[in-house]
Chain A
Amino acid sequence: MDSRFSQIYLEPYFILINLLLIIGLIFFFRLNKDERTNIYYWLPFLILTFTVVYEDFAGYLVYNYELNKWVNEILGNEKNPNYNVWFYNFANKYIATALYLFLIKTWLEPAKKKYITWMIFFYFFVILFLTGTGIEPVYLGQPIIFAIGANMILVGSGLYFIGLISNEKYLESNPLRLLSFWQMTFILFTYSLTYISSVSVTYLYSVNKQLGMSLFQIDWVMGVLNLSILVLTIASPKLPGIFEKEPYYAAS
């Protein structure tokens, strides 16, 4: 095996997320047909698969310099052809954030779901506007887009927690035994802990690369924890008695 290739893919982060994908796949295909077609299970599975695939491909872009350089040239980035930020922007900032917003939407009470739908539309409008006008080029870090996406996730989490303390169905359940509670808590932590580092990533890399990398490890740890909760959600029908049924399971 090529040493650069193994250097990239034998990182603990890559090993862990690929392992989680394999476990997720096993549990997902052990679900019955009704469960597999239920958004409560297929959406976490989609996010898990999408996240691991884009992380693997981002690693491949580091390995395959020529391909990365070619895309960067098409996008107008001739200064830093080794950057794979363009791909992270598409996969992580745009699609993954929207997918997490959809996931939050499934946990919300029906009356609040419409706010998330509006947020998603607004988010894509902002992306089109800021990248289309060149305010935030797609091949560089996009702090404004990240900040708007993260704020939307935080607002979505707020809506969930308001429902948790006010909705009768949630008041009947024990939040510590609800997967949605842990999912929302980890999403909230991921976006709040990485908020500052993601917004200041370009600056950090330019003044202290080592510190930038260290702060980015928070993102990796939270990423692994988030994917673990997604795997638990997919596996929950096979783990009876541990988690409670979600109050909006039927409505979602």
Chain B
Amino acid sequence: MQPVEDQIYVIIFATLFLGGLMSSFVIAMVFIHRQRQVQNRQKLDQIKSEHEKTLLNIENEIQQETLSYVGRELHDNIGQLLSLAKLYLGSSKPEKQSEGKETINQVISEVRALSKNLNLDWVESLTIVEFIEQQLEKIESTGYCKTKVAYEFELGDFPKDQKLVLIRVIQEVLNNAMKHASPDLISINVKRFGSDRVIEIKDNGKGFDTSLESDGSGMFNLKKRMETIGGDFSITSSVGNGTLIHLMLPN
């Protein structure tokens, strides 16, 4: 074979080789795409089912708390009012009887208010800002500690599933602060860090070592919950220096 002929063959085979290589590359890419598409769908389904599970757990927790609250109210408030009404209505004095009727009316309105708490419709009508203010008011009314709230921007409303998670996480963070930190002041700031919207919850209580595992599991749950709605959770604390929590809100 002549050297020129050899070179021509090399050119032809190199061209065919490159063509074959590119065909294999494109076909491989399509196959990899299909595989990843299936994996991605499975991952999305898993995330979706985890999200649904988290929401269900949160709804159950809120309902449990509501039932305990209703039970307490029935025993401590409505039960007392009904006993009082029975006493008034049993009296022969007309003014006592009218007081008894007024007490019955009070019981009716208390029962109406309680019944509203039994389903989760209140979540729809309540904004996160209103919820925060309600919770801080409750803490102040018990005389446990002082509270402060500040907003850098209008928080707006959230879809029901996001609101449920946020309500539960805020409630849990505030409960933890009251249960473990014994603070003089709890403050909530709604602020922006760059493009991130953040709810900052701060207390000046005992603080704790965040590296200790026993303290970390509850925080891990809160972080996971925030992640299911596309947000994030971070905590900064050390013994004697209070606790700072950032709830990064979903966009």
**Of all chain B residues, which has the CB nearest A193?**
B19
Output the least CB separation between B196 and chain A (Å): 19
A192 and B19 within 8 A (CB): yes
Q: Which of B27-35, B133-141, B175-183 contacts A (4 or more CB under 8 A)?
A: B27-35
Output the least CB separation between A198 and chain B (Å): 10
Which chain B residues numbered 1 to 38 have a C-beta less than 8 Å away from chain A? 4, 7-8, 11-12, 14-15, 18-19, 21-23, 25-26, 29-30, 32-33, 36-37
**Of all chain B residues, which has the CB nearest A207?**
B4
Decide yes or no whether A168 CB sits under 8 A from chain B. yes
Output the least CB separation between B128 and chain A (Å): 29
Give CA–CA (A207, B10) in the complex, Å. Answer: 14
Residues of B near A207 (CB, < 8 A) are: 4, 7-8
Decide yes or no whether B234 CB sits under 8 A from chain A. no
What interface size band does chain A fall in? 20 to 34
B26 and A188 within 8 A (CB): yes
**Of all chain B residues, which has the CB nearest A189?**
B22
What interface size band does chain B fall in? 20 to 34
Which of A165, A192, A204, A215 meets B32, CB within 8 Å? A165
Interface string of A165-205 (1 = CB under 8 A from B): 11010111001100000000100110011011100100110
A-B contact count (CB 8 A): 59
B26 and A164 within 8 A (CB): no
Which of A164, A188, A193 meets B15, CB within 8 Å? A193
Give CA–CA (A188, B23) in the complex, Å. Answer: 9
Residues of A near B26 (CB, < 8 A) are: 161, 185, 188
Residues of A near B11 (CB, < 8 A) are: 196-197, 200, 204, 215
Residues of A near B40 (CB, < 8 A) are: 168, 171-172
Q: Select the residue from B15, B23, B32 with max chain A CB neighbours within 10 A.
A: B15
Give CA–CA (A241, B133) in the complex, Å. Answer: 52
Give CA–CA (A165, B26) in the complex, Å. Answer: 11
Decide yes or no whether A46 CB sits under 8 A from chain B. no
Residues of A near B19 (CB, < 8 A) are: 189, 192-193
Residues of A near B18 (CB, < 8 A) are: 192-193, 195-196
B21 and A192 within 8 A (CB): yes
**Of all chain A residues, which has the CB nearest B13?**
A196
Decide yes or no whether A211 CB sits under 8 A from chain B. yes
B33 and A164 within 8 A (CB): yes
With A165-B33, A175-B30 as known contacts, state yes or no: A188 contacts B8, CB within 8 Å.
no
Output the least CB separation between A172 and chain B (Å): 8
A197 and B15 within 8 A (CB): yes
Which chain A residues numbered 21 to 46 have a C-beta less than 8 Å away from chain B? none
Q: Select the residue from B4, B29, B30 with max chain A CB neighbours within 10 A.
A: B29
Residues of A near B15 (CB, < 8 A) are: 193, 195-197, 215, 218
Decide yes or no whether A208 CB sits under 8 A from chain B. yes
Give CA–CA (A158, B30) in the complex, Å. Answer: 13
B30 and A176 within 8 A (CB): yes
Residues of B near A185 (CB, < 8 A) are: 26
Interface string of A127-145 (1 = CB under 8 A from B): 0000000000000000000
- Listed by A's residue number, 17 A-B pairs whose Cβ atoms lie within 8 Å are A164-B29, A165-B36, A170-B33, A171-B36, A171-B37, A172-B40, A175-B29, A176-B30, A192-B22, A193-B18, A193-B19, A195-B18, A196-B11, A196-B18, A203-B7, A207-B7, A208-B4
Which residues does A use to contact B, with CB under 8 Å?
161, 164-166, 168, 170-172, 175-176, 185, 188-189, 192-193, 195-197, 200, 203-204, 207-208, 211, 215, 218
- Besides the contacts A161-B29, A165-B33, A188-B22, what 16 more A-B pairs have beta carbons closer than 8 Å? A164-B29, A164-B33, A171-B37, A171-B40, A188-B26, A192-B18, A192-B21, A195-B15, A196-B11, A196-B15, A196-B18, A197-B11, A203-B7, A207-B4, A207-B8, A215-B15
